[in-house]
Chains A and B, each alone.
Chain A
Amino acid sequence: MNLSKLFGKKTFPHGIHLEEHKAETNAKPTRRLPFAPEIIVPLAQHVGKPAKPLVFQGQHVTRGELIAAADGFMSSPIHAPVTGTIKEIGLAKTAQGGKQDAIIITTSLNSGQHLLDSDIHYDYLQMSREELIQAVQNTGIVGLGGAAFPTHVKMKTPTDCSIHTVLVNGCECEPFLTTDHRLMLERIDHLLHGIRISMKCVDAPKAIIGIEDNKMDVLHAIEPFLPDDNSISIKAIATKYPQGAQKMLAYSLLGIEIPSGSRSSEAGLAIFNVATLAKVGALLPKGQGFIERIITITGDNLENPGNYLAPIGTPLRYILDHAGFKGDEAGLIIGGPMMGTPVRSLDVPITKGTGGVLVLDERATKRDDILPCIKCSQCLSACPINLNPSELGLLAAKRQYDVMEEKYHLNDCFECGCCSYVCPSNIPLVQYFRIAKTLNRERHRQDG
């Protein structure tokens, strides 16, 4: 470890150091995943109102064609990921559990899968903010980092907040995932277009790309393309989980704390994921729709782990087959090992917010006995928000959910999982907090 690593790099206090497990996939170029015979496109792949279907059963659709329209501003349209025939519009399983409305398309496997012809060519530098935001909505892009918040909504910042900096989040602090890493190496032009579009949308004079210092190759690859006026810069910050959380990133890059309970815009910041902006930069100039994305497929018992450009709606079963999964029992996770969602069926599709599919064998899914809290205070030293997870956990056990919220800042917890990770007593603290938050929300709803 050199001295600059010890003293030089600015970073947030606390957090944890994790084994990266990125070497299995981060050196391999992205490959295209073939088209699955059947594609399941949920209508609600984003935060907000589900999209309204525009197609009917039996209709032929071309890859890239609009198949569901946005239902108002707080919604996002959906485009056909494949050329094929609409098999059904009805309920389908989703990764979140339960079923949701979805458009199911039977792929025409010998159609060539050419993109829908389009003669649109936008020059984003000549467009007004309103036109740009509308164009972003038309692409159907939502946050690719996992939150799936519609990007155009985020770009329409409140009029009373002036944004001084766009932060471009390329930290990818979750272990195993390397989609952003590959993307920053392979799609630099798209990324820079996307950054300029976002700067124009939020009217910010500068942008900073933040990466963790385990991706110095990205820094060297991007630097030659940056503009001379320093309006866009790239900074390497310490490799530490959860560096990619908005609040941590703002602190590490600029020393700014986003006030508790408020949006980043209140601190003058607009924060976007690199993959989101690269998508904007790729699609908006041509007026295309969001139909495919890069996902990391990695974990145990896989023959071909790697990054794949996969059509939205590809079922996990097809993905696992393609990656050469050899086991017969697994923990299937959408996202990373710290904050990912468990999946209970192979028939669920990947959606716009899916950054990775992680397969962990029983070693990882083994559950140990939960022991009493010994108040070792490791969770306090790990919590990036500086909460008191130990006390919160004890309160949760006593079901004092209201005290957790009112006195111990439960709602500032963003469920990064650091406390559960370090707990020597195996207490599933984050899970307790999720339950507490859900019950509190329910209680507030009933109280009106």
Chain B
Amino acid sequence: MAKHDLKIDIRTSPYIRKAPTVAQIMRNVVYALLPLVIYSVYHFGISALALILVTTLSCILTEHFFCTMSGKKSTILDASAVISGLLLAMTLPPGFPLWMGAVAGFTAIAMGKTLFGGLGFNIFNPALVGRAFVQAAFPVSITTWTPALAVDRFSEFIPSTLALPFMHPLPTAEWSARVAIDGFTGATPLALMKFQGIMTNSYDLFMGNIAGSTGETSTLLILVCGAYLIFKKMLDWRIPAAVIFGTAVSAELFYLLDPLKYPTPAFMLLSGGLMFAAMFMASDMVASPVTPLGIFIFGCLVGFLTVIIRLFGGLTEAVMYAILFGNAATPIIETYTQPRIYGARKKNQDKS
């Protein structure tokens, strides 16, 4: 039985491929962020939920809009826009006005991603670009934190949430004082440290019984979610490890210089958005180095800058700028950290 009609498909080697694909990786990052989303809603109530929905939708719609405009196939199905939206919401104060959230989402995708050519070409982490924009545009709203675990959080929005576009958001101080339980104030641990010299204890920081940005409060949960991704080999553990290492070493240095003036490394690691940023922001594959040594340098740089900005800068949100700076430095870090190849000759042997 001669097979004259056999169809032969020609391809080049290798003929086998490993899962996962990009879309699968992105979907798993979304799954890993869901516990954080749920916890933040439990923590801050419907305002947080609304904020998360608004930023995510804003990111998806922006991406779809620009893809359609440029005549490309819409890339929203690869879920990377969803990730940017969720990450963005996690870093904003829970009472952040929704319309500002929409602006942040638009900026994140439009200026952080599409402008550079979409997924894979962005120089900066899109979510951080969005946050940096609203940080500059709405300096008051983005530093107005409200207490966690407010009594009526599931039935009542934080007053500032529903501010109309271009209107001044309602003040929340009075509301905060009314709903706070157990002496909770809206001040974040970093602000307490910076402006009042009060240290929050590490256990509260670790468990997340504090005020802060929507999804950054519980270190424990962040670690668990990150561990899931690391276990699935969809997150490079070296980046968070390097950031944590860099922060710890830098903080330890200052702490040794003057233990009374500077906070402990544990406080540095557990407060603010550091853990979240190390795990989910710095590890954005596209904007971080690919070389092993580069990854280490990048992480240390981010950690070091975070400590410096926190201690000596005027702002409390240090890690965002540290990562954006690290992103900008990525190409040059890569240039100088190319791996040594197998069988590489020493320089003086090159000509032989």
Contacts and interface: CB of A to CB of B under 8 A. Distances in A.
B8 A371 contact: no
B6 A330 contact: yes
A375 B17 contact: no
Interface in B333-352: 334, 338-345, 349
Interface in A320-345: 320-321, 325, 327-333, 335, 337-345
A385 B342 contact: yes
Contacts of B236: 376-377
A330 B8 contact: yes
Given A317-B2, A372-B121, A386 B10 contact: no
Interface stretch (A177-185, A195-203, A273-281, A418-426): A418-426
A431 interface: yes
B256 to A, nearest CB: 34
Contacts of A341: 13
Contacts of B22: 371, 374, 424-425
A42 interface: no
A223 interface: no
A342 B12 contact: yes
B286 interface: yes
A391 interface: yes
A271 to B, nearest CB: 14
A321 B4 CA distance: 12
Interface in A334-369: 335, 337-346, 358, 360, 362, 364-365, 367-368
B341 A412 contact: yes
Contacts of B15: 331, 333, 337-338, 340, 358, 360, 364-365
Interface in B8-57: 8-18, 20-22, 24-25
Contact of A375 (B3, B8, B285): B285
Contacts of A289: none
A327 B3 CA distance: 10
B292 interface: yes
B119 interface: yes
Contacts of B341: 260, 385-387, 409, 412
Nearest to A241: B14
A205 interface: no
A148 interface: no
A49 to B, nearest CB: 27
Chain B: interface secondary structure? loop
Interface in A398-448: 407-409, 412, 415, 417, 420-426, 428, 430-431, 434
B169 interface: no
B172 interface: no
A388 B338 contact: yes
Contacts of B247: none
A358 B11 CA distance: 13
A390 to B, nearest CB: 5
Contact of A328 (B2, B7, B340, B349): B7
B21 A426 contact: yes
Nearest to B78: A371
A89 to B, nearest CB: 24
B119 A372 contact: yes
B1 interface: yes
A48 interface: no
A34 to B, nearest CB: 15
Contacts of B7: 328-330
Given A260-B341, A387-B339, A417 B13 contact: yes
A442 to B, nearest CB: 19
Given A339-B13, A375-B286, A386 B342 contact: yes
Nearest to A12: B342
Interface in B310-352: 334, 338-345, 349
B343 A260 contact: yes
Contacts of A321: 1-3
Contacts of A407: 338
A19, A258, A368, A420: most-surrounded residue (chain B CB, <10 A): A420
B16 A364 contact: yes
Interface of B: 1-3, 5-18, 20-22, 24-25, 78, 117-121, 236, 285-286, 288, 290-292, 295, 334, 338-345, 349
Given A335-B13, A342-B10, A364-B15, 15 more contacts: A12-B342, A251-B342, A260-B343, A328-B5, A329-B7, A331-B10, A338-B13, A358-B15, A372-B117, A372-B118, A372-B121, A374-B285, A407-B338, A417-B13, A426-B21
15 contacts: A258-B343, A330-B8, A331-B10, A337-B13, A338-B13, A338-B15, A346-B8, A367-B11, A371-B21, A375-B285, A375-B286, A377-B290, A385-B341, A412-B343, A421-B16
Closest 3 pairs between A and B when the two form their complex, measured CB to CB? A372-B120, A417-B14, A377-B290
